[in-house]
Chains A and B, each alone.
Chain A
Amino acid sequence: MSSQTSLTAAEVEHLARLARMSLTDEELTRYAGQLDQILHAVDRVGEVAVDEVPPMSHPQPLVNVWRADVVTPGLTADDVLAGAPAAEDERFRVPRILDGE
């Protein structure tokens, strides 16, 4: 177990980058202390002996669900784009996805 975790502001910044959130230095420092405290608390799961115990991802057994192949009405493009921050030519307009020229 990774019992003696101690999160640094740099590690929090890495997590924030993975989660696509640009945080301020003040936030990074504050969250580092709080996340550290929470991680120490949740570390307790490591005290339980779980050899031979299957993991549980869901309260009920998940089964594949089929439905009849029948056409049902969906949303129109106008309906969907009405809530978009930016739209153009019946599509979501997004910022550029490539860098450089």
Chain B
Amino acid sequence: MSATTGAMHLTRRSATELATAIAAGEVTAREVTDEHLARIDAVDGSIHAFLHVDYEGARAQADAVDAKRAAGGPLGPLAGVPVALKDVFTQKGVPTTAGSRILEGWRPPYDSTVVSRLRDADCVILGKTNMDEFAMGSSTEHSGYGPTHNPWDTDRIPGGSGGGSAAAVAAFEAPLAIGTDTGGSIRQPASVTGTVGVKPTYGGVSRFGLIALASSLDQAGPCARSVMDAALLHQALAGHDPKDSTSLDLEVPDVVAAAKRADVRGMRIGLVSQLSGDGYQPGVRQRFDEAVEILTNLGAEPVEVSCPNFEYALAAYYLILPSEASSNLARFDGMRFGIRVGDDGDANVEEVMSATRAAGFGDEVKRRIMLGTYALSSGYYDAYYGQAQKVRTLIARDFDAAFSEVDVLLSPTAPTTAFKLGEKLDDPLAMYLNDVATIPVNLAGNAAMSLPIGLAPEDGLPVGLQIMAPSMADDRLYNVGAALETALRDKWGHLLIEEAPAL
């Protein structure tokens, strides 16, 4: 295949197709990688999905896959398929910043388990994607290195915190990407970029080497352009890891088989009354209602479900998350890694620490660290952190009650389509409201997916549907998601992402 005719072709293929073509010898892993690197060179100036492109490393990984194939060795299920990695994962020798200036120039001495699993699957890691600093945000505008732009409209946000990963996939810079989801950071970017994103069950994917935001909420997962591609990546990532004490030592649900099944006949799908209504944009509600109708026509039975404590999820989350974050981010003290400021030989350690953290952290990180410090301080602990933990129990109980009646729950993923860059930057609370529908799942620890269900008529921008499943029933997400995706693809003649403007 020549580079000129192949460029468009290879970058627009699915991960599933690329893996098959590489395994069959129709195309080399090196060709696939080179075409994606060329695409990044061509479009990332206007998207800024990547903080670092690992040209040399990616080509070496691709060559290794080709050599392995030539030698007749067994290939991983995603052999030669390029993946973009959120910059919150350590990758040995490759710059890792978590979107923060405080880690500028740091090259980790070890691989995260997610990276090890990608290597085991023979994936090619193209580079590190942009994100809100330490994953705090819903727009990537809180990145210390400038925002990512939405491929559908470069004046708009790509969501956050994993806006870089979602935009890389939506802009055909990579067929697959890795995200992390603490309050919606995989699902909300998927929603506003017309892509698929999954937050697995907490403990489903190892957190070893994931720079922690809130340890009881963080979970890594796949970003892709189709449900099947997401399933393949999910399967490559998931499974027990002795290096993470919260990693679940349970059999991983067969998400690939579920994506192939794509059959919702007889399933009960719950519509959460607390995640609808006036706060949701009319076009979001319209596409959501249409998607429910499609699933109903496919044989599912819709049921209204009430989760009364979801109304308090946002409040509980913005106490629990800052509390855990303020503790986790204490490690960035300018002593062992990253930058150090004000070490003039006279200043003491506390002064250097305070100057380093003031210079290295951005606004949102500083706000949340202080919020957490406040919520954990004596005199406020019971009223804030303690109370939020009890509300968290009630939210988990709401899920338990709902899942005793239905197989999955549905809601819009985000209340609106992509908003303009800068629109909510100075209003933290307005920014937080983007995650109102995604946060309950993080608090309870179960699994959820966002997939595209059309464009909002009023602005022509993608709308996402959220599917929520019980813990360790991640396969249901893929079954329902694939059924809906197939029906929509039959209706449109293609995936929604094909309608994204050329860059």
Binding site for B on A (CB under 8 A): 1-2, 12, 15-23, 27, 31, 34-35, 37-39, 41-48, 50, 53-60, 62, 65, 67, 75, 79-80, 82-86, 92, 94-99
A21 touching B354, Cβ below 8 Å:
yes
Contact of B357 among A21, A37, A46 (CB under 8 A): A21
B383 neighbours in A (Cβ, 8 Å): 1-2, 46
Contact of B393 among A20, A21, A53 (CB under 8 A): A53
CA distance A18 to B357 in the complex (A): 12
Q: Which residue of A lies closest to B387 (CB)?
A: A45
Interface residues of chain A: helix, strand, loop or mixed (majority): loop
CA distance A79 to B334 in the complex (A): 17
A50 neighbours in B (Cβ, 8 Å): 387, 390-391, 393-394
B319 touching A42, Cβ below 8 Å:
yes
CA distance A62 to B216 in the complex (A): 11
CA distance A2 to B58 in the complex (A): 54
A48 touching B366, Cβ below 8 Å:
no
B366 touching A44, Cβ below 8 Å:
no
A31 neighbours in B (Cβ, 8 Å): 366-367, 370
Task: Encode contact with A along B334-361: 1 for CB under 8 Å, 0 otherwise.
Answer: 1111111001010111111111011001
Contact of A23 among B309, B340, B358 (CB under 8 A): B358
Supposing A22-B355, A35-B371, A84-B336 touch, asked if A45 and B388 sit within 8 A by C-beta, the answer is: yes
A12 neighbours in B (Cβ, 8 Å): 370
CA distance A40 to B357 in the complex (A): 27
20 contacts between A and B (CB under 8 A): A15-B377, A21-B361, A31-B367, A34-B428, A35-B370, A38-B428, A41-B432, A42-B316, A44-B315, A47-B312, A50-B393, A53-B394, A55-B386, A59-B445, A60-B202, A60-B246, A60-B248, A95-B343, A95-B348, A96-B349
B471 neighbours in A (Cβ, 8 Å): 59-60
CA distance A45 to B334 in the complex (A): 35
Supposing A22-B354, A43-B315, A53-B390 touch, asked if A34 and B367 sit within 8 A by C-beta, the answer is: yes
Binding site for A on B (CB under 8 A): 106-110, 202-203, 216, 242, 245-246, 248, 309, 312, 314-316, 318-319, 326, 330, 333-340, 343, 345, 347-355, 357-358, 361, 366-367, 369-371, 373-375, 377, 380, 383-384, 386-394, 396, 428-429, 432, 443-446, 471
Closest 8 CB pairs of A and B: A59-B445, A55-B389, A85-B340, A79-B109, A50-B390, A22-B354, A44-B315, A59-B202
In the complex, number of A-B residue pairs with CB atoms less than 8 Å apart: 179
CA distance A43 to B391 in the complex (A): 12
A76 to chain B, nearest CB (A): 8
B358 touching A21, Cβ below 8 Å:
yes
In the complex, besides A15-B370, A17-B354, A35-B374, 13 extra interface pairs with C-beta distance below 8 angstroms are A22-B354, A31-B366, A34-B428, A38-B432, A41-B314, A48-B309, A48-B312, A55-B390, A59-B216, A60-B445, A80-B109, A95-B343, A95-B352
